[in-house]
């Protein structure tokens, strides 16, 4: 029984981190969106 690799919940790509639900691309994209949301909210 090998450890099952988690898939990105957004695009289905394999995620290299067990504690993440998104792949590197989606995770970065979400971070950028969150940053923009924070900036727009504070402005």
List of residues contacting Zn ion (CB under 5 A): 8, 10-11, 13, 23, 26
CB of 11 closer than 8 Å to CB of 26: yes
Min dist CB 3 to Zn ion, Å, is 19
**Closer CB to Zn ion, 2 or 14, in the complex:** 14
Min dist CB 15 to Zn ion, Å, is 7
**Closer CB to Zn ion, 11 or 37, in the complex:** 11
As a whole number of angstroms, the distance between CA 27 and CA 20 comes to: 8
Tokens 């988690």 label which residue? 6
End-to-end CA distance of the chain: 51
């Amino acid at each position: 029984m090998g450890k099952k690799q988690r898939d990105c919940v957004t695009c289905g790509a394999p995620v290299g981190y067990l504690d993440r639900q998104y792949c590197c691309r989606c995770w970065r994209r979400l971070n950028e969106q969150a940053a923009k949301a924070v900036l727009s909210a504070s402005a």
